[in-house]
Amino acid sequence: MKMRKTAIGLTAFSLIASLSAVPALAEKDDHGQHDNGKHLGWYKQQYSVSFDDIDGDFSWAKDAIQQLAKEGIVHGVDAKHFQPNGQLTRAQFAALVSNYFSLQPANSNQEDFQDVHVGDWYFKAVEASKDYMTMFTNVSGGYDFKPNLPINRAEAAVTLVQVLLKQNAIQLVSADQANQILSGYTDANLIPQQLRIHVATAIQAGLMKGIGANRFDPLTTLNRAQAAALLYRLQNQLQIPPIDSNGNPVTEVPPGTPSSNPGSTNGTLTVTYQSPSYVVSIGNPIYVSSSQFGSVYLIPNNYTAPNSVSSLDDFVNANLGSKTSVTQANTSVALSTANLAGGYYSIYAADLYGNITKLNNTVQLVSSQSAAISSVQLQSNTTDSSGAVHLTLNIQTTNVSNNTQAVAELVTSGGSSLNPSLTAQTTIYNNSGTVTLDIPAGLQSGNYKVKVTVGNSINQSVNFTK
pLDDT digits (tens, 9 = 90+) for 396-424: 988 776 667 889 999 999 888 888 889 99
Distance CA 138, CA 89 (A): 19
Tell whether the model's pLDDT for residue 226 goes beyond 90.
Answer: no
Q: What's the chain's average pLDDT?
A: 77
- Nearest Cα to Cα of residue 278 among 347, 334, 340, 336: 347
Residues 6+ apart with CB under 8 A from 122: 23, 91, 92, 94, 95, 116, 147
Say how many CA atoms lie within 13 Å of 252 toward its Cβ. 11
pLDDT at 380 over 70: yes
- Rounded CA separation 228/395 (Å): 49
The string of DSSP letters for 348-394 reads EEEETTS-EEE-SS-EEEE--TT-EEEEEEEEEEEE-TTS-EEEEEE
pLDDT of residue 63: 85
The per-residue pLDDT for range 28-39, each reduced to its tens digit, is: 333 222 232 222
* Position 175 pLDDT exceeds 60: yes
pLDDT band with cut points at 50, 70 and 90 for residue 262? very low
Residue 9, pLDDT > 90, answer no
> Structural domains in the chain?
12-151+221-236 (no CATH), 271-366 (2.60.40), 372-465 (2.60.40.10)
Paired strand residues for 323 = 297
Query: In the chain, helix, strand, coil percent, each to 5?
Result: 20, 30, 50
pLDDT > 60? residue 252? no
Is residue 46 scored above 80 in pLDDT?
A: no
Specify the pLDDT at position 279: 80
Indicate if the pLDDT at residue 110 is higher than 50.
yes
How big is the CA angle at 423 (ends 346 and 274), to the nearest 5 degrees? 35
Q: How confident is the model at residue 456 (pLDDT cuts 50, 70, 90)?
A: confident
Characterize the bridge pairing of strands 447-454 and 417-428.
unpaired
pLDDT for 447 equals 94
pLDDT at residue 119 is higher than 60: yes
pLDDT digits (tens, 9 = 90+) for 383-392: 999 899 999 9
Tell me the per-residue pLDDT of 272-301, one tens digit each, with 9 for 90 and over.
888 877 888 888 899 998 887 778 999 998
Q: What percent of the chain has pLDDT over 70?
A: 79
Q: For 321-378, what is each residue's pLDDT tens digit? A: 999 887 677 788 899 998 888 778 999 998 766 778 888 888 888 765 556 888 999 9
- H/E stretch holding 154: helix 153-166
| Residue of 114, 194, 195, 183 whose CA lies nearest to 154 | 195
Print the SS3 string covering 276-292: CCCEEECCCCEEEEECC
Task: Give the model's pLDDT for residue 368.
Answer: 58
User: 341 or 153: which carries more pLDDT confidence?
Assistant: 153
pLDDT tier, 117 (very low <50, low <70, confident <90, very high otherwise): very high
**Dihedral, CA of residue 33, residue 76, residue 204 and residue 258, to nearest 10:** 20
Query: Which whole number is the average pLDDT over 198-211?
Result: 86
Q: With a cut of 80, say whether residue 136 has pLDDT above it.
A: no
pLDDT at residue 323 in the model: 92
Question: Which of 133-137, 258-262, 369-373, 441-445 is the most confident on average?
Answer: 441-445
pLDDT score of 18 more than 70: no
Contact by Cβ (8 Å): 396, 436: no
Q: Encode burial over 209-220: b for 16+ CB neighbours within 10 A, e otherwise.
A: eeeeeebbbbeb
Provide the pLDDT for residue 33.
29
CA distance 415 to 338: 15
Beta carbons within 8 Å of 157's beta carbon, 6+ residues apart: 195, 198, 199, 202, 203, 207, 208
Q: In whole angstroms, what is the distance from residue 171 CA to residue 177 CA? A: 12
Out of 156-160, 306-310, 436-440, which region has the weakest mean confidence (pLDDT)? 306-310
Burial class (CB in 10 A: 0-12, 13-18, 19+), 354: middle
Average pLDDT over residues 109-122: 88
Residue 272 β-bridge partners: 289
- Split at pLDDT 50, 70, 90, the class of 200 is very high
Distance (Å, rounded) from C-alpha 215 to C-alpha 412? 18
pLDDT of residue 365: 84
Tell which wins on pLDDT, 47 or 269.
Answer: 269
